[in-house]
């Protein structure tokens, strides 16, 4: 394989059999269970990197089912997303995500900089209750519940919320262990088609774990919960801040 061929084919690893295909990445019937809770503002500031700033002491804890996604297949993920601002623009910062499928772990980390780790999340309906769980190995570190479809939400308003910018801290090390890439990335969801949006009474339990530290942002009060189903496209991102530029 000549030098030009290496460069032209080098979008993912392994070179001759990439872990994921080129996008765009379309998701059909993507199901969200999002519990918004109030947390300790000092701990929140400790985990949000400048130049992002947290707007309120709130965290969105998410369980997401993705039964049909381009190139990634069928998987579930769970994690914490924080409302932030960047240069006056309101958006969300993804702190950590845990999922059960290698291609979206590899693609998420390599392309956008999603902070993804391997774990075992679930999202399902049990009789009258929407239930989300996250297990890291044999340990249950998160469990959320919500009354199933107690109240219908404005689908268009929820679509506008999904369309807001999202921010990630992309880190790729050099072979000597120093940071080779350290960038703040912004990406959007587009072509959003809402299939439904609901709310209901909810609860959230987080347990301490050394390698899945979701409980480091403690639940002080559950503010609201949302259950959304949508078709959407995950767009590629753009670099908005380079930590190594100076």
- Token readout for 18 is 């990439």
Q: What is the pLDDT of residue 73?
A: 96
Catalytic positions are 116
Q: What is the pLDDT of residue 246?
A: 73
Q: Which pTM value belongs to this model?
A: 0.96
What lies within 8 Å, CB to CB, of 82 at 6+ separation is: 44, 47, 48, 54, 58, 59, 60, 92, 93, 95
pLDDT < 50 stretches in the chain: none
What lies within 8 Å, CB to CB, of 24 at 6+ separation is: 70, 233, 234, 235, 236
Q: Where are the domains of the chain?
A: 19-242
Q: Looking at the domain that runs over 19-242, which CATH code has it been given?
A: 2.40.400.10
């Amino acid at each position: 394989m000549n030098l030009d061929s290496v460069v032209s084919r080098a979008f993912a690893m392994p070179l001759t059999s990439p872990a994921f295909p080129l996008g765009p990445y379309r998701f059909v019937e993507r199901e969200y269970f999002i519990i918004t809770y109030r947390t300790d503002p000092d701990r929140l500031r400790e985990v949000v990197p400048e130049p992002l700033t947290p707007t309120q002491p709130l965290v969105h804890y998410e369980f997401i089912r993705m039964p049909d996604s381009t190139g990634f297949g069928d998987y579930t993920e769970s994690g914490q997303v924080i409302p932030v601002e960047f240069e006056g623009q309101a958006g969300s910062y993804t702190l950590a995500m845990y999922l059960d499928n290698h291609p979206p772990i590899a693609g998420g980390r390599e392309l956008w900089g999603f902070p993804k780790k391997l774990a075992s999340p679930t999202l399902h309906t049990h009789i009258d209750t929407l239930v989300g769980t996250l297990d890291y190995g044999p340990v249950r570190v998160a469990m959320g519940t919500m009354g199933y479809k107690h109240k219908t939400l404005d689908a268009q308003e929820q679509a506008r919320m999904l369309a807001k910018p999202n921010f990630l801290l992309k880190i790729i090390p050099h072979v000597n262990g120093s940071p080779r890439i350290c960038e703040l990335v912004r990406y959007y969801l587009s072509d959003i088609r809402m299939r439904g949006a609901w709310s209901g009474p909810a609860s959230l339990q987080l347990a301490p774990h050394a390698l899945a530290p979701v409980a480091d942002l403690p639940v002080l009060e559950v503010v609201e919960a949302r259950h959304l189903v949508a078709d959407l496209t995950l767009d590629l991102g753009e670099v908005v801040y380079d930590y190594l530029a100076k």
